[in-house]
């Protein structure tokens, strides 16, 4: 089985990169939706319902599947020896991906609050949170590509 996986390693890596791109698109877009939802859509309004549909579909159809595929492909590569656990860069990436997953889960919880009409956070909170995936992406890309540590 390992020989087969090694043979298709470039495909696993390509799938990993594509799923990360899709996941990141959602991680960047969902907080922006939350900003406008919090600032412009009164609870129960037609606009509130529209935002709820957009947020739910983005999370369920794009973000969740792409996160799962990114994790599975990443774990396969990890199992095939793609990481040097003696290097700091590998640990920076792993910790950053775990934090990215935590950010995803935080956003999923906020979506449920909006759906229940219980959002208490301002648009400013979501604007600030929108920077979290950007900082984590920067750390991951620099750690993997530049490997400065």
Confidence at residue 83, expressed as pLDDT on a 0 to 100 scale = 85
Positions in the chain short of pLDDT 70: 1
Confidence at residue 8, expressed as pLDDT on a 0 to 100 scale = 93
**Into how many domains does the chain fold?**
1
Confidence at residue 6, expressed as pLDDT on a 0 to 100 scale = 79
Tokens describing residue 30: 């969902």
Burial status of residue 116 (CB atoms within 10 A of its CB: 0-12, 13-18, 19 or more): exposed
Cα angle value 58/60/61 (rounded, 5°): 70
Contact 19, 73 (CB under 8 A): yes
Residue-number span of the structural domain to which 42 is assigned: 2-146
List alpha helices for 1-149, DSSP H: 2-7, 9-40, 46-57, 64-79, 88-115, 123-129, 131-141
Q: What is the pTM of this model?
A: 0.93
Confidence at residue 36, expressed as pLDDT on a 0 to 100 scale = 98
The residue among 87, 89, 83 whose CA lies nearest residue 143 is 89
Confidence at residue 19, expressed as pLDDT on a 0 to 100 scale = 98
């Amino acid at each position: 089985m390992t020989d087969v996986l090694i043979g298709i390693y470039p495909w696993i890596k390509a799938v990993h990169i594509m799923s990360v791109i899709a996941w990141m698109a959602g991680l960047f877009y969902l907080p922006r939706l939350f900003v406008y939802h919090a600032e412009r859509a009164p609870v129960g309004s037609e606009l509130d319902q529209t935002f709820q549909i957009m947020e739910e579909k983005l999370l369920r159809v794009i973000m969740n599947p792409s996160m799962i595929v990114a994790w599975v492909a990443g774990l396969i590569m990890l199992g095939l020896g793609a990481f040097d656990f003696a290097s700091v860069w590998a640990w920076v990436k792993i910790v950053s991906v775990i934090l990215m997953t935590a950010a995803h889960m935080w956003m999923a919880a906020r979506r449920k609050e909006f759906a229940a009409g219980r959002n208490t956070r301002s648009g400013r909170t979501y604007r600030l949170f929108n920077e979290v995936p950007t900082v984590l992406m920067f750390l991951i890309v620099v750690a993997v590509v530049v490997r400065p540590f």
